[in-house]
Amino acid sequence: MTAPTTRTLGLDDWMTPPEVFDPLHEQLGFDLDACATDSESARVSRFISPEEDALVTPWDGKCVWVNPPYGRDINRWVERAASAPKRDGCNLVCMLIYANTDTRYWKRHVVDHPSSQLVVFLSPRVNFIRADGKKAKGAPKGSALVFYQNSDRMSSFPTHAYWNWKTEQFPWWTFICGTR
């Protein structure tokens, strides 16, 4: 079976550095990595591989981690993450993406989507891990964590926060965990 065309297997697959993932995982307890290239790149033991195609495969985790490929299909990944809480019954989906706030998909699936509860802008830029296992010098853009939950938010827009992942503990876990 060939891999779906939504993944390029190494060309736009940038793994999350442990310095960003581990503090989140310690507090949130992810039980599914929806976008791992393979078992070596997966951040938790249960993952959806490119061959399984996470755009169509159900996300059967309660607390799902998503660092999607950042290629031209990113809008499909953001749409999929936004729909997962209601479609698949996930309590929480945490997606790490570029903070492309001027795009249609950001407006539609982050700003306007009712399950988008929290956006955390990361500082400094994330040093992703390349497919060959080496750290990149730095992302070309800023990143954000977008949190989707299985309930509609009470406000018109998602809450916004900022996290210096190198010097601060992740402090928003009480907001997120309060509805887990």
Mean pLDDT of the chain: 86
CA 112 centroid distance within chain: 17
The predicted pLDDT at position 33 comes to 95
Q: What is the pLDDT of residues 164-178, one digit of tens each?
A: 999 998 866 556 554
Q: What is the pLDDT of residues 134-174, one digit of tens each?
A: 777 777 789 999 999 999 988 898 988 899 999 998 866 55
The predicted pLDDT at position 128 comes to 86
CA–CA distances in Å: residue 85 to residues 52, 99, 119? 19, 21, 16
- Cβ(113)–Cβ(86) below 8 Å: no
The alpha-helical segments, DSSP class H, found in the chain are 18-28, 74-88, 104-106, 173-177
pLDDT band at 3 (very low <50, low <70, confident <90, very high): very low
The predicted pLDDT at position 139 comes to 77
| Alpha carbons within 13 A on the beta-carbon side of 4 | 16
Q: How far apart are CA 46 and CA 35, in angstroms?
A: 11
Q: What is the pLDDT of residues 93-118, one digit of tens each?
A: 999 999 999 999 999 999 999 999 99
- Cβ(34)–Cβ(64) below 8 Å: yes
Considering the chain, what percentage of its residues have pLDDT values greater than 70? 87
**Is the backbone peptide bond immediately before 140 cis, with ω within 30 degrees of 0?**
no
Q: What tokens does 171 get? A: 């402090």
The predicted pLDDT at position 117 comes to 93
Q: What is the pLDDT of residues 9-63, one digit of tens each?
A: 445 567 888 999 999 999 899 999 999 888 877 889 999 999 999 999 999 999 9
User: Structure pTM?
Assistant: 0.88
